[in-house]
Structure 1
Amino acid sequence: MNFASDNVWGACPQVMDALQRCNADAERSYGGDRWTEHAETLISEVFEREVEAYLVTTGSAANALSLSAITPPYGAVLCHPASHIMVDECGAPELLTGGAKLVPVEGEGGKILPGGVAETVAALDHPPHSVKASSVSLTQSTEIGTLYQPGEIAALSELAHGHGLKVHMDGARLANAVAALGLAPAEITWKVGVDVLSFGFTKNGALAAEAVVFFDPALAEDFIYRRKRAGHLWSKGRFLAAQAVGLLENDVWLANARHANAMAARLADGLKAVPGVRLSSPVEANELFPIIPDALHRRLQAAGAVYHKWPGEDAGPGEVMIRLVTSFATAQADVDAFVSLAREGASSGAA
């Protein structure tokens, strides 16, 4: 019953098979191999247009390098206060942009709103004393598992572009968003104004692989140097590409995401029926944030359930908020066991 993260599991079988096939032959180094070429072709096919795609190993690198291409050292990145770039990347965006500032923009449901962006841009309009608003970063799906609808992204992009800002999307869980919305990836990225995407594979069944995807090739000028200087150009880059190939061929990435989403929905439905348990936000992808009695929390952990206690203002006295994340490898039996354990704890008085 491990719901700590979608990072806790290893690689899916199709990725491991691709790695084994990739390992069978000698190939050119530094991305000049057939696997990298194939991965780049597949990424363009996913987004229904020619893109510039660059493989890296971590989500932090993908985000920070993406932002470095669209944000100058004296610039500002507007983002949600709970975004990964703001709270979980140890200053990597500031480092790789050469000193750009991350500026939080309040919103609702884990999402930033056009009004907040407009107010922040106006507040920064004091050249040369303020940093220059240069980019907006959106997270899809968000850090609380909610989803930006295409119209919401389009409105934010139109506003950003109207002020000369570029739009970055942190798509560490883009697969879950695509699967949940039932839309083509293009419909929630470049067609609604996203300029550069951090396309996540690791949380969806890869070992360690992400892609920086530029929808405007002009923005990728000199990116080969940025990636190399940051230490993310692998000499054996085909092993990054093989992971992407294993996921993108035959739409494995979407099948994995659909399974993760389905397990989250099943978990949410089960917990809704447990007395004393409530959900702090809608469950739209593969994360859920229940608020539960502290006694039930201690009982679940004593029984071996693995998850994170989460900070949240919605929890009242004697309650805690927890985060549960499902993945491509989450077993239905574990979901049902967790719900059963929660139900037993509530009925026995622990709740």
Structure 2
Amino acid sequence: MSRSQQFLSDNAAAVHPRVWNAMRAADEADAPYDGDALSQALDARFGELFGRECAVLWTATGTSANCLALATLCPPHGGVVCHREAHIEMDEAGAPGFYLHGAKLMLAEGAKDSGGAKLTPDAIRAVIDPIRDDVHQVQPHAISVTQASEYGRSYRPAELEAIGALAQERGLGLHVDGARFGNAVAFLGCSPAEAVGPAQALSFGFVKNGGMGAEAIVFFDPALADVARYRRKRAGHLQSKGRYLAAQVLAMLEGDLWLDNARAANAAAAEIAGACGERLMHAVEANEVFVRCTAVEREALRAQGFGFYDWGEDAARFVTAWNSDSQAASALARAIAAL
């Protein structure tokens, strides 16, 4: 399998050259931890991006970003409502329970018609309405949505506003897992502020989008960041040379590189999706393509050199990245059409 035909994951993509250059430029002595000039610049830079006051912490992984953010919104005796196929439930090895000291994930089904692992207000109510308001049952304290979702579906601003209105009505915090936030913004064509809605915390993903090893936890309530700083240290995620993480994040924001990268990945996914016809399992609204195909068909694609993950018995997932080769994407599209 050639590297150009790699559609396993955007986590496997190369680091963008501008990120490497920014890390090299940061290779000067400065204050340790997050006291350096680059780390100190994050709040203002994200404030410009979202048009409101932000407090921003870097961390190295998406799992730590999600869990540290949620730990500020939910106490150990509480619960976080999420979709039953959310990344925090399916792919983080119990990390939310670990970081939140035992808090419970409260699983919702999401929309039955459109699917795509997206939550709706009705799905959230179905989880929280039956809970008695007494000490014998876990009480919800937060909602977590994924933008774009685990099946590559993007929440429209109105959908986020509706969930946010419910959260405010019930006194719940709202967290957005934005591992592919750039892809959602690129698809929606809206502002970053509209794509995050009335959330209190956002895990802003960069690693999947051309970064090397840095994510941002963006708090729209700065007081939450004061708590998260202690939690980050206690969890072992306060790196002593934090300027290298901040350099990556700032490089991705410079000139909207994060958005250009996401647009490139989305375009490659759209080309592949255009050849799938009725095989397409979910509308492609980011950089993931879920395709119905048998085991024999999947082996036929692998025999042509394409790399991807099986997704259940009769499906496959193809993920494009900022540097996906256009010829390889076209070749994959032709191969799927010819099955």
Aligned equivalents of 1:161, 1:69: Cα separation in 2: 16
User: Deviations 1:199-254 (Å, cap 9, x if unpaired)?
Assistant: 11111110111111110112223221101001111100000001001100011000
Counterpart-to-counterpart distance in 2, 1:22 and 1:39: 15
Q: Please tell me whether the aligned partners of residues 141 and 171 of structure 2 are also in contact (alpha carbons under 8 angstroms).
A: yes
Asked if the contact 2:78–2:104 (Cα under 8 Å) also holds between the matched residues in 1, the reply is yes
After superposing the two structures, state which structure 1 stretch, 39-48 or 96-105, moved more. 39-48
The residue type paired with residue 40 of structure 1 is D
Say yes or no: does 1:195 pair with 2:211: no
Corresponding residue for residue 179 of structure 1 = 186
Match of 1:240 among 220, 235, 245: 245
Unaligned runs of 5+ in 1: 313-319, 347-351
Residue 160 (structure 1) shift: 1.4
Cα deviation digits, residues 172-192 of structure 1 (max 9, x gap): 100001111111111122xx3
**Conserved 8 A contact 1:150-1:188:** yes
TM-score, length-scaled by structure 1: 0.92
Pair 1:8-2:3 in alignment: no
Task: Tell me the equivalent position of 2:168.
Answer: 161
Q: CA deviation at 1:126?
A: 4.2
Distance 1:177 1:343 in 2: 26
The equivalent of 2:310 in structure 1 is: 309
**Residue 66 of structure 1: aligned partner:** 69
Candidates 5, 11, 26, aligned match of 1:22: 26
1:42-92 Cα deviation digits (max 9, x unpaired) = 222111122010000000000000000000001010000110000111111
Indicate the SS of the match to 1:264.
helix
User: Residue 39 of structure 1 contacts residue 242 of structure 1 at CA under 8 Å; is this kept in 2?
Assistant: no
- Secondary structure in 2 matching 1:112: coil
Superposed CA deviations along residues 3-41 of structure 1, whole A, max 9, x for unmatched, are: 111100121111111111111x11110111111123332
Distance 2:123 2:35 in 1: 44
Residue aligning to 1:281: 282
Question: Deviations for 1:252-308, whole angstroms, at most 9, x for unmatched residues?
Answer: 000000000000001111233xxxx61011011110101023322111112221100
Matched, 1:105 2:84: no
Task: Select between 36-45 and 261-270 the one with higher mean Cα deviation.
Answer: 36-45
Q: Which has the larger displacement, 40-49 or 137-146? A: 40-49
Q: Structure 2 CA distance, aligned partners of 1:223 and 1:343?
A: 48
Distance 1:342 1:140 in 2: 27
- Cα distance in structure 2, aligned partners of 1:322 and 1:103: 28
In 2, distance between residues paired with 1:220 and 1:238?
18
CA distance in 1 between partners of 2:307 and 2:173 (Å): 39
Q: Which moved more, 1:124-133 or 1:81-90?
A: 124-133
Partner of residue 328 from structure 2, selected from 316, 324, 334: 334
Q: Structure 1 counterpart of 2:181, which letter?
A: L
Q: Measure the CA separation in 2 of the matches of 1:269 and 1:128.
A: 52
**Percent of counterpart pairs with the same letter?**
42
Structure 2: how far apart are the matches of 1:41 and 1:236? 20
Distance in 1, Cα, partners of 2:157 & 2:132: 29
RMSD between aligned residues: 1.3
Q: How many correspondences in the alignment?
A: 331
SS in 1 for 2:293: strand
In structure 2, the residue matched to 1:212 is 217
Runs (4 or more) in structure 1 with deviation over 4 Å come to none
